[in-house]
Amino acid sequence: MTSACRRMAALSAIGAAALAAPAAALATPASGGEIARPIVRLAVGIEPVGELAPNRVVVRVPVDVTCNVAGAETAYVSLSVTQAVGERVASGYGFVPAGVRCDGLSHRLTVGVLASAGGAAFRTGAAAVTASVSACPEEGEGVCESVDSEPQDLLLLRKLRS
């Protein structure tokens, strides 16, 4: 093995150890034959398909939220949707007023996004969505945490009548 290859292998091993250390620190203790799983403190996942309301000013987007922030009882979720509509842009914002319980479980909910006044109405087709979730300890002790998603593709479809 050349010295350059040995250096790369050593750097890779050091990098893997550096990445594994924080993950190990967040792992739940394993008992018996259980495999330790990382503790998810705050996470949001966005479904790739949203529902366009008949009025075209409301979009409903399913999301999965997990919160396990110490001392927090509620996580607050918001979404932003943007779509090119011809020469105009439709955009809107929505949130979950009651929030989501911080109990360490994944919660599926639907966030309604209202188009901005004066802008274009949404239409079926491709759009972009971003999500933000935050949680703070109830007693003012500890640090608030937040997670912002990267912009993701969202396909807007009309609801099929049942």
Would residue 90 count as lying in a domain? Answer: yes
pLDDT per residue over 23-54, tens digit each?
333 334 445 555 554 566 899 999 999 999 99
The owner of tokens 């011809």 is: 86
Would residue 127 count as lying in a domain? Answer: yes
Would residue 62 count as lying in a domain? Answer: yes
pLDDT per residue over 100-110, tens digit each?
999 999 999 99
Distance between CA atoms of residues 111 and 77, nearest Å:
8
**pLDDT, greater one: 83 or 23:** 83
Q: What residue numbers bound the domain in which 86 lies?
A: 42-158
Distance between CA atoms of residues 127 and 47, nearest Å:
13
What's the domain count of the chain?
Answer: 1
CATH number, domain of 135, equals 2.60.40
| Three-class secondary structure of residue 56 per DSSP | coil
**17 burial type by CB count under 10 A (0-12 exposed, 13-18 middle, 19+ buried):** exposed
Residue 28 one-letter amino acid: T
